[in-house]
Chains A and B, each alone.
Chain A
Amino acid sequence: MRINNKRLVSVVSIFDNQVVQSKSFNNYLPIGNPEITIENLARWGSDEILIQCFNQTKKNIGPNIKLLKKISINKNATPLIYCGGIKNEQHALQAIKNGADRVVVGYSFFDKFDYNVLDRISNEIGRQSLILSLPIIYKKNKLFIYNYVSKKIIDINKTNFFKLKKFVSEILITDVINEGHYDSFNLKIFKLLKINIPCIFFGGINSKRKINLVFKQKMTSAIGIGNFLSFKEHSYQNLSKNSQIFLRKPYYEKNK
């Protein structure tokens, strides 16, 4: 049976307006220009492109609208998800009006488990356009949310996922420790994660084998893949061809 309704999301990490390679939310190594990166990922037929702008939250400067406006010109009719600095419904609306099709909210929720902020954003842009980000750390057979601002960890069981379902369409789960490391996503996370909301998994998922293992999980609606896609022409198509049972047919641009 074909179940080709999952997605392979191209994740672009941005720090100081540069595309960077990050490791465990640290050690940012510049690798390229955002506009060209987006243009390539769109040209290769990415199911969705997610841009995550680091430091917007830490600096408390809201979403990077200038960059969003600039890069969305190159998205070539590919769905664009924006992540970084969104604290309220005005920020979310600004991002949507300026080129994003969906937005990701993380810190503003899990810092104080503020369900109201999600409720307000969802009322403004619709549940389908709102994704919650939970950076996860696996430690001693337990899962924790990593608060990258305070650098503290919080027990994931404090989250009321039943309540969250009213406000968000998907949850972006990042394996913090393995983010930026080759094929090291911790599969033990699935045993501990009890979520009734579709999830996008990200962080150390690169090999064809691991992609298929993660796709096989019922809660997986999408997989995020980062810089791994940018190093070689057609990496995206090669990966999606391998996971044909889960994904739509890869797209190859015809010669002009």
Chain B
Amino acid sequence: MNVVILDYGSANYHSIVNFLNFSENLNVKISYKKTDIKNSDLLIFPGVGTFDQALHNIKKRKIDKILKKEIRQGKLVLGICLGMQILFEFSDESKCNQIGLSLIKGKTKKLNITNVGWRKLIINKKKFKYFNNLSFYFNHSYFQVCEKKNVLAYVKFSKLKIPAIIKKNNIWGVQFHPENSQLNGKIFIRSIFNQI
């Protein structure tokens, strides 16, 4: 299975590569080459950095169009934290009104206080009840506002219900960091691999 971790300049690539090492039969690459994007079975948008920097680098590397085309044609995608946020339309984080990849409808809003730590998921859809009450590691200053039907799980933080797992067709987005969520992260990523 070919997994490409999209290189947009500023993310925890090494962390994700180390994390994926637990699984056999994976060919993991950190890349922004168009051929690698096309040939991948799973495209991971990593999650450390800022909205503007990530989109700026995607546009600078001229891969925004191919990303949109491949994803619209059904390429399996996992966006982690910021990597999920850039798949949406708008973000409060942008200082220059930058527009996201707009593959899912929704907006990213600022939290008053950073959500750092281990939180238990509350599952919305029966199909994913296995993950109910399992703890995952969160570290984010912005959160997603999107259509309810796409939210599979959320966490409660600062009187808010923060979407934790979002799914729309072939697009998966997670607000937590599976690569930092120990055993639960591994179980989660395996469930994504099972889709292929």
Residues of A that sit less than 8 Å from B by CB: 5-7, 42, 45, 47, 69, 72-73, 75-80, 93, 96-102, 123-129, 169-170, 198, 221-222, 248-249, 251
| Interface residue B154 (Cβ < 8 Å from any Cβ of A) | no
A101-B48, A125-B10, A126-B49 known; A77 vs B114 contact (CB < 8 Å):
no
Complexed CA–CA distance, A78 and B135 (Å): 13
Q: Is chain B's binding surface mostly helix, strand, loop or mixed? A: mixed
| Interface residue B73 (Cβ < 8 Å from any Cβ of A) | no
Interface size, B (range): 35 or more
Measured between beta carbons, the chain B residues less than 8 angstroms from A80 are: 15
Complexed CA–CA distance, A101 and B48 (Å): 8
Question: Smallest CB-CB separation from B95: which chain A residue?
Answer: A123
Contact A251 B141 (CB under 8 A): no
**Apart from A78-B182, A101-B15, what 19 extra A-B contacts exist at CB < 8 Å?**
A5-B117, A7-B118, A47-B117, A72-B14, A73-B18, A77-B186, A79-B137, A79-B139, A101-B48, A101-B139, A125-B48, A125-B49, A126-B49, A126-B141, A128-B140, A169-B114, A169-B116, A169-B141, A221-B117
Contact A5 B119 (CB under 8 A): yes
A7-B118, A127-B141, A170-B116 known; A97 vs B182 contact (CB < 8 Å):
no
Question: Smallest CB-CB separation from B82: which chain A residue?
Answer: A126
Which of A45, A79, A100, A251 neighbours the largest number of chain B CB atoms within 10 Å of its CB? A79
Which residues of B1-58 have CB atoms within 8 Å of chain A's CB atoms?
10-15, 18-19, 22, 48-50, 52-53
| Interface residue B177 (Cβ < 8 Å from any Cβ of A) | yes
Contact B11 A96 (CB under 8 A): yes
Measured between beta carbons, the chain A residues less than 8 angstroms from B14 are: 69, 72, 97-99
Which residues of B101-143 have CB atoms within 8 Å of chain A's CB atoms?
113-114, 116-119, 135, 137, 139-141
B193 to chain A, nearest CB (A): 15
Measured between beta carbons, the chain B residues less than 8 angstroms from A249 are: 135
User: Digit string of B128-171 for contact with A (CB within 8 Å is 1, else 0)?
Assistant: 00000001010111000000000000000000000000000000
Measured between beta carbons, the chain B residues less than 8 angstroms from A127 are: 114, 141
B13: contacting residue among A45, A97, A222, CB under 8 A: A97
Contact A198 B114 (CB under 8 A): yes
